[in-house]
Amino acid sequence: MNAELQFLTALQGLHTPARDAVMLFFTRLGNAGFVWIALAAILLLFRRTRRAGCILALALVCDLVLCNFILKPLVHRVRPCDLLPEVPLLIPHPSDYSFPSGHTAASFTAVAALWLAGKKRLAGTTLVLGVFIAFSRLYLCVHFPTDILGGAVLGIVLGAAASAIANYVANHKEKQRIV
């Protein structure tokens, strides 16, 4: 058994009804990027936070396309729960592939986008939430640790890319206004 499967098997020793409930709560927050989409929508409502909301929304769209429509089908990695059938699943079996973790990618996309948009305190809060969401995917045995790492790296890159795009557009608009 490889190191990742050994790690996930060892994590199964942490299960208690209370921990299961907590991990189910966090993983459900990350389902379909709901919490991050809701946060982007709220930020878009207020003038003071609209730029951050735009960056976050753009980053999440990029994440959806790259993670779910390109990388997962391309890498085609089976989930650890398929290799460890003795581990009872506490959630419905995910229908897509394992790499990268979409929950983690969306979470770290939000962290990076908010940090680079200047919302550092909010980014700190989203980091804590994102780490719990990512860990819940390991705890529930639906992702390998490298799926989580790949999702985190992808999310940071996409948050940075969305910020760079927003800065480019803002600078271009400013130059157009001056001319």
The residues assigned a catalytic role are: 103, 143
Report the alpha-carbon distance of residue 179 to residue 82 in Å, rounded.
Answer: 60
Neighbours of 127 (CB within 10 A): 17
Helical ranges in 31-144 per DSSP H: 34-45, 50-63, 72-75, 80-83, 102-116, 120-139
Report the alpha-carbon distance of residue 159 to residue 113 in Å, rounded.
Answer: 4
> In the chain, count of helices (H) and strands (E)?
9, 0
